[in-house]
C-alpha cells in the first residue's frame, strides 16, 4: 500500500474544504491527524474568568469544534486575573481568555513577573460597562459629566474598582474619567476587585463605581444596587477586549496546536454571532454554575443589544458584544495592542516610551492567525493598524504612539 504524505498547504486547503462543506467532525480531525499539521499537544487547558466574553472558548469545547481540528479544549474556571497571569507564566494553563493589557504588561514586566507573551486572536468587541452606585445616582451622578460635577461639589474620597491594574477595565475607567476632567490617579482612589466579586463589594459600599465585563454590569441593575453610567462601546466603538493569550514559549513549541485552537474558537465565534437562537443557547450554556454562575436573563439581554440603565431608560444598542462580526472582531491588530501601551505610559505604569510597534509585533501572532483564518475563509484586513475615534474625540490610528500618549491633557 502506497504511503501518502500531505504538505501543509494541502492540509490547510483540505481544512478549508472540510469546514466549508460542513462535513462531519471526525473527518476534520482525520485530516489533521497526519502530516506536519498534527497538533503537538492535543489537550489544551484554557483558563477563563466568569464573564460573558469567555463564551467562544466555552462553546468551542461544548459544541465540539475543537475535535474537528484534532485538539481537546479543557476550559478552566479561574478566580482572578492575577491567578490567570500566574498560571499562564508557570505553565499550569496553556492559554487563557485574558485581558489584552495583562498580556502586554507581563511581556514588559509591568503588573507582575516578566515573561515573553503572545496574543493569538481577539475574542470580542464591546460589551463592558461602567456602573455607579445607586447612592451616587440618587445624588444626580448618572453619567460622566454629572459624576464630575458631584465630585467637585462634594469633596470626599471616591473609590472606583477595576479588575486588573494593566487590564482593559482599568483603561476604560481611567479614559472615561479623564474625558470629563477627573484624574483617576489624583482625584479618586482606585482598587482592584475580581469580576465576579464586583456586585457583592458594591452592595456593602466598598466602592462608588466600577468597570467590568458583563454580566456584572447588568447584575447590579437586576439587584437594584447600581446604574449603568456608560458602556465601553460608547467610549470606543468596537474596542478590543479579551484576547486568546499564551506565552511565546508555548507558541514556539506548539504552533500547530495554537493554529488548531484559533480555528476552533473562530468557528465558535462565528456560530455565536450567527443568530438569535445561537446567542440564546450560548447564554443558557455559559450561565451555568460551571462557567459564569448567574441567571440566563442577566446574560441574554445585553448579548442581544437590549440595554437598560437602571433608571428607566432602555435602548437597543447595535454595538453590543460581538464575537465574530464577519471576521472583523478576531484579527489581532497591532494598533490594538499598542493602544494599551500608550495608556500604560499615560498613567505611569511604564516610565519610558517602549518600542510600541516592536512590542506589538513580538506579541501578536498575526501569521498564525492568518493561516487559521485563511483555512476557514475568514476575511483578513488589509492593514494590521486600524483607526478609531474615542469618546473624547481623539483619533487613535497607531501611527505615532509616543505623540499620542504624551498628548492627553489629563495624565499622571
pLDDT, tens digit (0-9, with 9 covering 90-100), for 50-66 = 999 999 999 999 999 99
Residues 6+ apart with CB under 8 A from 294: 50, 215, 219, 287
**How far is C-alpha 249 from the chain's CA centre?**
22
How far apart, in whole angstroms, are the C-alpha atoms of residue 39 and residue 222?
Answer: 44
27-31, 175-179, 391-395: range with lowest mean pLDDT: 27-31
Report the percent of the chain where pLDDT is more than 70: 92
65 is written with which cell numbers?
469544534
Band of the pLDDT at 12, cuts 50, 70, 90? very low
Q: Is the pLDDT of residue 302 over 50?
A: yes
Band of the pLDDT at 35, cuts 50, 70, 90? low
Q: Is 72 helix (H, G, I), strand (E, B) or coil?
A: strand
How many angstroms separate the Cα of 332 from the Cα of each of 19, 141, 262?
A: 22, 36, 12
How far apart, in whole angstroms, are the C-alpha atoms of residue 12 and residue 31?
Answer: 9
How far apart, in whole angstroms, are the C-alpha atoms of residue 191 and residue 161?
Answer: 5
How many CA atoms are closer than 13 Å to the CA of 89, on its beta-carbon side?
19
pLDDT, tens digit (0-9, with 9 covering 90-100), for 249-273 = 999 999 999 999 999 999 999 999 9
Helices (DSSP H) in 69-156: which residue ranges?
81-90, 100-107, 134-138, 144-153
- Average pLDDT in the chain: 92
Q: How many helices (H) and strands (E) does the chain have?
A: 20, 14
Residues 6+ apart with CB under 8 A from 133: 202, 205, 207, 208, 209, 225, 226
19 is written with which cell numbers?
469546514
**Average of per-residue pLDDT across 113-131:** 97
How far apart, in whole angstroms, are the C-alpha atoms of residue 175 and residue 196?
Answer: 23
8-12, 187-191, 207-211, 294-298: range with lowest mean pLDDT: 8-12
Band of the pLDDT at 19, cuts 50, 70, 90? very low
The pTM score is 0.91
**Average of per-residue pLDDT across 192-199:** 97
How far apart, in whole angstroms, are the C-alpha atoms of residue 36 and residue 280?
Answer: 38
Q: Is the pLDDT of residue 345 over 50?
A: yes
Amino acid at each position: 500500500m502506497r504511503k501518502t504524505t500531505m504538505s501543509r498547504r494541502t492540509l490547510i486547503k483540505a481544512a478549508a474544504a472540510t469546514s466549508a462543506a460542513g462535513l462531519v467532525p471526525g473527518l476534520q480531525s482525520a485530516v489533521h491527524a497526519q502530516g506536519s499539521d498534527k497538533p503537538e499537544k492535543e489537550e489544551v487547558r484554557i483558563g477563563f474568568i466568569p464573564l460573558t466574553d469567555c463564551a467562544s472558548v466555552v462553546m468551542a469545547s461544548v459544541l465540539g469544534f475543537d475535535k474537528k481540528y484534532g485538539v481537546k479544549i479543557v476550559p478552566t474556571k479561574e478566580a482572578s486575573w492575577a491567578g490567570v497571569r500566574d498560571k499562564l507564566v508557570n505553565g499550569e494553563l496553556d492559554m487563557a481568555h485574558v485581558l489584552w493589557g495583562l498580556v502586554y504588561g507581563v511581556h514588559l514586566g509591568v503588573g507582575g513577573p516578566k515573561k515573553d507573551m503572545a496574543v493569538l486572536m481577539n475574542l470580542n468587541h464591546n460589551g463592558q460597562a461602567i456602573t455607579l452606585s445607586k447612592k451616587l445616582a440618587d445624588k444626580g451622578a448618572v453619567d460622566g459629566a454629572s459624576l464630575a460635577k458631584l465630585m467637585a461639589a462634594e469633596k470626599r474620597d471616591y473609590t472606583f474598582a477595576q479588575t486588573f491594574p494593566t487590564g482593559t477595565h482599568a483603561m476604560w475607567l481611567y479614559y472615561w474619567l479623564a474625558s470629563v476632567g477627573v484624574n483617576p490617579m489624583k482625584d479618586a482612589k482606585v482598587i482592584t476587585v475580581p469580576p465576579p466579586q464586583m456586585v457583592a463589594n458594591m452592595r456593602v459600599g466598598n466602592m462608588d463605581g466600577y468597570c467590568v465585563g458583563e454580566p456584572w454590569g447588568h447584575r447590579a441593575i437586576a439587584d437594584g444596587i447600581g446604574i449603568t453610567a456608560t458602556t465601553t462601546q460608547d467610549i470606543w466603538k468596537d474596542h478590543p477586549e479579551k484576547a486568546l493569550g499564551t506565552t511565546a514559549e508555548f507558541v514556539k513549541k506548539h504552533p500547530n496546536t495554537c493554529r488548531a485552537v484559533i480555528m476552533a474558537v473562530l468557528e465558535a465565534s462565528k456560530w455565536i454571532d450567527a443568530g438569535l437562537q445561537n446567542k440564546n443557547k450560548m447564554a443558557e450554556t455559559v450561565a451555568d454554575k460551571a462557567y459564569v454562575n448567574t441567571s440566563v436573563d442577566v446574560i441574554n439581554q445585553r448579548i442581544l443589544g437590549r440595554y437598560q440603565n437602571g433608571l428607566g431608560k432602555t435602548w437597543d444598542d447595535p454595538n453590543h458584544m460581538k464575537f465574530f462580526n464577519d471576521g472583523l472582531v478576531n484579527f489581532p491588530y497591532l494598533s490594538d495592542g499598542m493602544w494599551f501601551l500608550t495608556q500604560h505610559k499615560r498613567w505611569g505604569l511604564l516610565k519610558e516610551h517602549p518600542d510600541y510597534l516592536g512590542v506589538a509585533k513580538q506579541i501578536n501572532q498575526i501569521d498564525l492567525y492568518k493561516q487559521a483564518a485563511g483555512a476557514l475563509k475568514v476575511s483578513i484586513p488589509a492593514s494590521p493598524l486600524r483607526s478609531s475615534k474615542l469618546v473624547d474625540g481623539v483619533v487613535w490610528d497607531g501611527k505615532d504612539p509616543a505623540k499620542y500618549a504624551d498628548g492627553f491633557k489629563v495624565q499622571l
